[in-house]
Amino acid sequence: MTPISASIDPPNGTSSGVVALDTGGGRFFFVGMPSSGTDWRLYTVDTGTGAVLSSPAIDPATSILGLEYDDAADVLYGMRNPGDGGKQIVTYDPATGVATPISASISPPLGVPGGVTALDAAGHRFFFIGTPSAEFVHRVYTVNTVTGAVISNPTVGPATSILGLEYDAAEGVLYALRNPGDAGKQLVRLDPATGAATAVSVSIAPPLGIPGGVNALDPAGNRFFFIGVPSAESDYRIYTIDTATGAVPGNPTITGSASQFFVGLAYPAASAPPPGPTEVTIDVRSTINPRSKGVIPVVIFTTATFDATTVDPSTVRFGPGNASEAHGTGHISDVDGDGDLDLMLHFRTQDAAIPCGATSATLTGQTFSAQAIQGTDTISTSGCH
């Protein structure tokens, strides 16, 4: 374990599992209440420096029982008690602590385990576990993050306590950590539409105590992490479960952690792949003599979706030989007479290295704003015999 920040506002009461991570922005969010205060605060910590970027009081003052962050939309979601004992999905401004409601109050009064939430960002679904006051079993609630509607809330079957949730967007799977009845912990796949649980692992280290909601998921590596303390030990262990096989490849002791209390885990989301090149429309002279000592004219056309004048001629390469523009600049003109300005380029035939028999030729390059481009046109060759 390697510290990132100093101790923040000690003593600071925090809610177990109520954390979220902004991978791209390098921000870790958690909810806490300094001993000298009476209101919950929303803390934002810089994961690079450990500095506390902000810690506004939550407005309006209320208890927060879940946080989830949507990296793509840059939205921090929360689940709170709106004051009537129900649960409400909101968004939070980390800089001001101001909440904006998404849903109405759900099933008041509704008991929930803190931090047992998950987010399907692309599918606009917020998941949480709750038990209405007149019932004795958990339900898995799915709330639409756009409309606030409760999509479903089936009872969890078989009846058991759920102590952690994580959503794998690539697989479309909601994982849950539960007590299977022997006080151990078991990873399952939970169907949010039916509440049916399918075992992934066997029961792990019964009896095993864990802080609720202190778990994380590495989707690409097929790893589910959680913190636990076996009954015969005093230090915490960090458990890793293989989500494909259910095996536990590691559960090392966090030495000296008996005097510490872990209240959150988060795993960095996978970085989005860089965007591919923009396809551009080009026109290459239809017949090319690979033995020619001349140049090959190539036009990049301006279209309704692309402005050819934004291309940086110095970056353009053509053919298998990656020939550069013969004059280094190109020429802007309305080549096709449609009223738009196109980019005319010339490449030395020998540098382009078009082989005899080739049926296509490709151009690559970048715009002045570094957006990659690529275009291909059909050709034929002559003079090869």
Query: CB of 276 within 8 A of CB of 371?
Result: no
Looking at the domain assignment, is residue 374 inside a domain?
Answer: yes
Looking at the domain assignment, is residue 322 inside a domain?
Answer: yes
Residues whose CB is less than 8 angstroms from the CB of residue 189 and which lie 6 or more positions away in sequence, other chains included: 173, 174, 175, 176, 197, 198, 200
- Are 241 and 314 in the same domain? no
Looking at residue 271, its pLDDT comes to 60
Residue 159 CB: number of other CB atoms within 10 A?
11
| 249 residue type, one letter | P
Looking at residue 35, its pLDDT comes to 84
Number of domains the chain is built from? 2
- Are 293 and 343 in the same domain? yes
| pLDDT, tens only, 257-305 | 888 888 999 999 766 556 789 999 999 999 999 999 999 999 999 999 9
Lowest mean pLDDT among 272-276, 319-323, 365-369, 375-379: 272-276
Residue 159 in this model has a pLDDT that exceeds 80 = no
Residues whose CB is less than 8 angstroms from the CB of residue 286 and which lie 6 or more positions away in sequence, other chains included: 378, 379, 380
| 283 residue type, one letter | D
Query: Can you tell me the distance from the alpha carbon of 304 to that of 309, in angstroms, rounded to the nearest whole number?
Result: 13
Tokens of 246: 């259910």
Looking at the domain assignment, is residue 85 inside a domain?
Answer: yes
Lowest mean pLDDT among 88-92, 258-262, 308-312, 335-339: 258-262
Q: Does residue 206 have a cis bond before it (omega within 30 degrees)?
A: no
Looking at the domain assignment, is residue 4 inside a domain?
Answer: no
- Are 119 and 221 in the same domain? yes
For CA atoms 366, 371, 377, 379, the dihedral sign is: positive
- Are 154 and 285 in the same domain? no
Rounded to a whole number of angstroms, the distance between the first and last alpha carbons of the chain is 70
Beta-bridge partners for 207: none
Assign residue 363 the CATH number of its domain.
2.60.40
Residue 46 in this model has a pLDDT that exceeds 70 = yes
Torsion angle of alpha carbons 140, 141, 145, 150, nearest 10°?
Answer: 150
Higher pLDDT, 195 or 9: 195
Q: Does residue 60 have a cis bond before it (omega within 30 degrees)?
A: yes
Q: Which domain holds residue 375?
A: 278-381
Work out the average pLDDT over 70-86.
95
Q: Counting runs of H as helices and runs of E as strands, what totals does the chain give? A: 1, 31
Query: Can you tell me the distance from the alpha carbon of 5 to that of 110, in angstroms, rounded to the nearest whole number?
Result: 35
- Are 249 and 355 in the same domain? no
What are the backbone angles phi and psi of residue 313, rounded to the nearest 5°? -60, -30
- Are 226 and 255 in the same domain? yes
Tokens of 291: 């033995």
- Per the listing, tokens 């860089």 go with 274
Looking at the domain assignment, is residue 97 inside a domain?
Answer: yes
Tokens of 154: 């089936």
Antiparallel, parallel or unpaired: β 75-80 and 331-333: unpaired
- Mean pLDDT, the chain, rounded, equals 94
Residue 9 in this model has a pLDDT that exceeds 90 = no
- Are 76 and 122 in the same domain? yes
Query: Can you tell me the distance from the alpha carbon of 296 to that of 330, in angstroms, rounded to the nearest whole number?
Result: 12
Looking at residue 217, its pLDDT comes to 98
Looking at residue 90, its pLDDT comes to 98
- Element containing residue 288 per DSSP (H, E): strand 287-288
Looking at the domain assignment, is residue 45 inside a domain?
Answer: yes
| 151 residue type, one letter | I
- Are 117 and 237 in the same domain? yes
Query: Can you tell me the distance from the alpha carbon of 224 to that of 282, in angstroms, rounded to the nearest whole number?
Result: 48
Antiparallel, parallel or unpaired: β 372-378 and 331-333: unpaired
Query: Can you tell me the distance from the alpha carbon of 259 to that of 73, in angstroms, rounded to the nearest whole number?
Result: 38
Looking at the domain assignment, is residue 20 inside a domain?
Answer: yes
Tokens of 237: 């262990």
Looking at the domain assignment, is residue 270 inside a domain?
Answer: no
Assign residue 80 the CATH number of its domain.
2.130.10.10
Domain end residue (candidates: 196, 224, 259): 259
| 253 residue type, one letter | T
